[in-house]
Amino acid sequence: MNFGLTSEQEAMLHHVRTLLDDVCPMAYAARCDEAQKPPREAFDALARNGWLGLIAPEEYGGAGGTPTDLALLLEETGNHFEELGLWLFRNFTYGCYAVLKHGTEEQKRRIVPGTVKGELSFAFALTEPDSGSDAAALRTRAVADGDDFIINGRKQFTSGMDIADYALVALRTNDLGKKQLGISTFLVPTKTPGIEVRRIPTLGQHAIGTTEVTFTNVRVSRIALLGKLDEGWSICEDTLRYERLCLSAARIGAARRAFEFALDYAKTRHQFGKPIGSFQVTQHKFADMKVMLDTAQTMIRRYAWLMENNQAQRADTAVIKYYIGESYKTISDMCLQILGGYGYCMEYPMQRFFRDSRLATIGGGTSEIQKNIIAATLGL
């Protein structure tokens, strides 16, 4: 395994970084967060420059990039604005990866080119009010009606639903004893009559955030079905694995930005006649954070390599999701402490990292569930 980047990857990083420095500086991210406004201008700039097609094959208008390329792009995007990274991740995971891997040719041709151009956005609706960690216990139902299905029920925490064109929705289509059986996944157009979306006020993730979605007699055509009827749970699991690569990459980028901001601050803020970075207790905080960041980056590169070589196991995904989520949370907390009272002020950016990072150990599967998965693979 080679840890170095190819010259194409170096050039890609340079291009993305320069573009994002221009269209997504920290002040822009702060404005989007404060105004609760999606970073549309930055998203459109990435689309115009072809980045939203990174992983799609050339025949669908994409660049045929690898999981390592994707991790690099999302890390850099997350470094500028985590929520922009998460918007991209949803499109890559549900609008490209899931459709390309599990969709029919008709679905690929109908959806992927629009995703690549940034004309379509996506959400994932798995969680329900009574099924979070126990996601397979979901109850929202799709019942066949001729060539259509009728959906009734409620989804909780469907992020980005209010800016999405399609939601990948996991639905109960049959009762077959075991809860993982009888689930199907549908690509539901979000403007279908009978869908009601309510934004949920949250601690962080204010620019795009999350929603509650109610389905009342929502009629979708059979062509919305992704994969085989009643066999959607394996698609959910597969998609969650891909999601955890993307989320983790974006979060390393965000953690690195909090670290860099605090480092600059520690070098210039003076107390007792010295920079606060000259106190050993502060230096040790930075040393601990540097170890976490380096470990996280090595883990993500390794995981992307495993994916490229079809060797990624369930526990590998849980390991990165757990470690990187916890590290991001710890790093943003330490950085806030380094800024002292200014870390606590809304006029400084650290509070946004602190608020946003709190989700990293919850969304996409809690840290406890990741540890359960890891332990189960140890035969416990």
Ligand X SMILES: Cc1cc2nc3c(=O)[nH]c(=O)nc-3n(C[C@H](O)[C@H](O)[C@H](O)COP(=O)(O)OP(=O)(O)OC[C@H]3O[C@@H](n4cnc5c(N)ncnc54)[C@H](O)[C@@H]3O)c2cc1C
Contact footprint for ligand X (CB under 6 A)? 124-127, 132-133, 157-159, 202, 205, 210, 359, 362-366, 368-369, 372
CB count in 10 Å sphere of residue 4: 8
Nearer to ligand X, 204 or 277 (CB): 204
Residue number, nearest CB to ligand X: 132
Measured from the CB of residue 91, what is the shortest distance to ligand X in angstroms? Answer: 13
Give me the long-range contacts of 61-64 (CB less than 8 A, separation at least 24).
61/112, 61/113, 61/116, 61/117, 62/96, 62/112, 62/116
In angstroms, the first-to-last Cα distance of the chain is 30
Cβ(71)–Cβ(55) below 8 Å: no
Nearer to ligand X, 148 or 162 (CB): 162
Q: What angle do CA 183, 188, 190 make, to 5 degrees?
A: 140
Nearer to ligand X, 138 or 266 (CB): 138
The residues, any chain, with a CB within 8 Å of residue 371's CB and separated by 6 or more, are 318, 322
Nearer to ligand X, 129 or 340 (CB): 129
Cβ(125)–Cβ(133) below 8 Å: no
Measured from the CB of residue 159, what is the shortest distance to ligand X in angstroms? Answer: 3
Measured from the CB of residue 51, what is the shortest distance to ligand X in angstroms? Answer: 22
Pairing of the two strands 148-155 and 122-125? unpaired
Closest CA to 72 of 23, 17, 1, 2: 17
Measured from the CB of residue 273, what is the shortest distance to ligand X in angstroms? Answer: 44
Measured from the CB of residue 155, what is the shortest distance to ligand X in angstroms? Answer: 7
Kindly state the tokens that stand for 47: 């689309």
Nearer to ligand X, 206 or 256 (CB): 206
Nearer to ligand X, 75 or 243 (CB): 243
Measured from the CB of residue 336, what is the shortest distance to ligand X in angstroms? Answer: 20
